[in-house]
Chain A
Amino acid sequence: MTTQPPMTSPTAFEAIGLTRSYDLEGVSVDALRGVDLRIEQGEFVALLGPSGSGKSTLMHLLGCLDRPTSGILRVGGVDVATLDDTRLAELRNQTIGFVFQSFHLLARTPALDNVALPLVYRGVTRSERRARAEAALKAVGLGHRMGHRPSQMSGGEQQRVAIARALVGDPQVVLADEPTGNLDTRNGEEVMNLLERLNADSGVAVVLVTHEPDVAARARRQIHVRDGLIELDSRSRTAPAGETTEGGAG
């Protein structure tokens, strides 16, 4: 693929003066008003903020689902402004894994095929897709659930399928939008453990959007968004030495 980001870049996301405004019935609404942000590879970041703060918009921009109105956004070192829609889709496919609050699994499709879906758009052969999806499901502890449909699984299991799907394409970053929002405490805990472990083991950066303080507390860095601006960017003291952002896996 032509859009394979250069692996030499250690920076997962780099935003400079990022703005995004929407036109709502003729009125221009500024959702982001100039965000500067760097997220290195291997970081574990929580995006916090009340609803309407712009954190979802920021998440969509980081996920290449949307384009900034102005400012520069580099994803894996690639300036998204230089990409057309097709290249942007390819960048998304290669670089980013999504985990959604409501899982977003294809309802009538078995877990294995749900997990393999991103690889379909990468032109990977069927047998290889199967093998990789199997490996991803085993990695999230669902090796025994491969033929099950989402309706046959618990919420926690469904979210783990979604995490397997996010990881199957070997992304640089997993973007998780309220990943525990629809789960009970126990399952939420399990999903957080899984994300933490994946971050530690494979060095994939995790950016999670949440409004739950205890979920956010598990991230090593918290970015508070308010009124379209970054209000506070703090690093947990608990982060072990040597795993600070500047020295992160790269």
Chain B
Amino acid sequence: MRTAEALRMALEALRVNRLRSTLTMLGVIIGVLAVVILVAIGTGAKNAVEKEIAGLGSNIILVVPGQVGLGAAPTQSRLDLTDVAYVRRVVGDPSKVTVAVNSGESVRVGRNEVFATLTGTDENMQNIFDRPLRRGRYMTATDVDTRRRVTVLGSEVAGKLFGDVDPIGRQATIAGVRFRVIGVYESVGSTFGVARDQEVHVPVTTAQRLIGLPRINGIAVGASGPDEIESLQHKVVAALDARYPDEKFSAVTQTQLLGTIGTVLSMLTGVLAAIAGISLLVGGVGVSNIMLVSVRERTKEIGLRKALGARQRDVLWQFLIEAVLLTTIGGLIGILLGVGGALLIQALSPVPAAITWWSIALAFGVSVGVGVFFGVAPARRAGRLDPVVALRSE
């Protein structure tokens, strides 16, 4: 018997038992749907985080005191501005080193008040981080050197405080001290839950006086190219370790962050896909069950086919193709619904979703495989039926 013939027979059998075939497929459809959607969400989350990290700027090395890890508590810093000058000498290009000191402060304009992240930094910040201005100007070396009370606002802070009014040149009170707004950043979104649009940048010298501590929280170094990152990273850490032998310093790069987060999110996606895969397996058990029922129900038909000259393998093939067809059609429907569902989630909810070809290929492959795996036992049973017994059954 030709395969095309077996395929035709199987399609016919599925068509005849339309409701049962649909219900059986439903298990596979839901399983595949779940795999495609969950992988899409996992991948979407990973892409979003990677985009955030990449959105910081390129080739950035963040130097912080202590051992750094994701979620590790910040170590009390003993770095100050003299250390920044030291790192500038080590790096060689002063414009490629900037500084950050952070504090949560309230910012007020008239009756409007918001809570913002005060970040003291310097005129080199924009050389390293990707922070385009919407209006006004960046702070200058003079602003830093003379401890001017000037500020560049994050887009969200500016919007909440000033509404539609142009803030440039106006006054804002930060922690009780009056500052003049010299610029507003473009909206850049958040990184690691740090809402960068809620930041308020002031000269680092002014910030230290405002906070009352001469410390800084970290140093950022910009490498001139990806090849330079690793050597520069080691150079800076080694220099700081040499300066403070009893302390530890860490330098993390975007690549390292991307690697760590990527691994975690990939694992998460894998776990989600595996859970969804279990439901696909359950769908396969359903297929097996229905095929066994079908074989029993069609015992007489099998007996007749055998009497007319069907070989064992002809009957086996017929039922196996039927099972595989069930799961394959179910898989295809599940993929279509899954892709549609992922696009819908992407469009209608803040959850990012990204469809990957491998999840679709995997879901399809698994559904075909499930059909073969769970179809073999019923098909073998059908193939082995004794024609005399089968014909006699009523």
Q: Which chain A residues have a beta carbon within 8 Å of chain B's beta carbons?
A: 60, 63, 65-66, 85-86, 89-90, 92-94, 98, 100, 104, 106, 108-109, 117-118, 120-123, 165, 169
Contacts and interface: CB of A to CB of B under 8 A. Distances in A.
Given A89-B310, A89-B312, A90-B309, 12 more contacts: A60-B388, A66-B387, A66-B388, A85-B311, A85-B312, A86-B312, A93-B308, A98-B308, A104-B307, A118-B309, A120-B1, A121-B311
5 pairs of A and B residues whose beta carbons are closest in the complex: A93-B309, A121-B309, A118-B308, A89-B311, A65-B387
B309 A106 contact: no
6 contacts: A65-B388, A89-B310, A108-B12, A109-B12, A121-B1, A169-B309
Interface of B: 1-2, 5, 12, 16, 300-301, 304-314, 386-388, 391
B5 A104 contact: no
Given A89-B312, A120-B5, A108 B16 contact: yes
B360 to A, nearest CB: 35
Given A86-B313, A93-B308, A122-B309, A106 B301 contact: yes
A103 to B, nearest CB: 10
B335 to A, nearest CB: 30
Contacts of A89: 306, 309-312, 314
Nearest to B298: A106
B2 A123 contact: yes
B308 A94 contact: no
A165 B305 CA distance: 12
B341 to A, nearest CB: 36
Contact of B311 (A66, A90, A109): A90
A66 B344 CA distance: 60
B308 A121 contact: yes
A169 B308 CA distance: 10
B195 to A, nearest CB: 65
A99 to B, nearest CB: 11
A104 B391 contact: yes
Contact of A98 (B1, B307, B313, B314): B307
Given A104-B300, A117-B305, A86 B311 contact: yes
A148 B305 CA distance: 20
A60 to B, nearest CB: 5
A203 B251 CA distance: 97
Contacts of B16: 108
Contacts of B309: 89-90, 92-94, 118, 121-122, 169
A123 B388 contact: no
Nearest to A91: B309
B62 to A, nearest CB: 72
Contacts of A108: 12, 16
B35 to A, nearest CB: 35
Contacts of B388: 60, 65-66
A165 B307 CA distance: 12
B304 A104 contact: yes
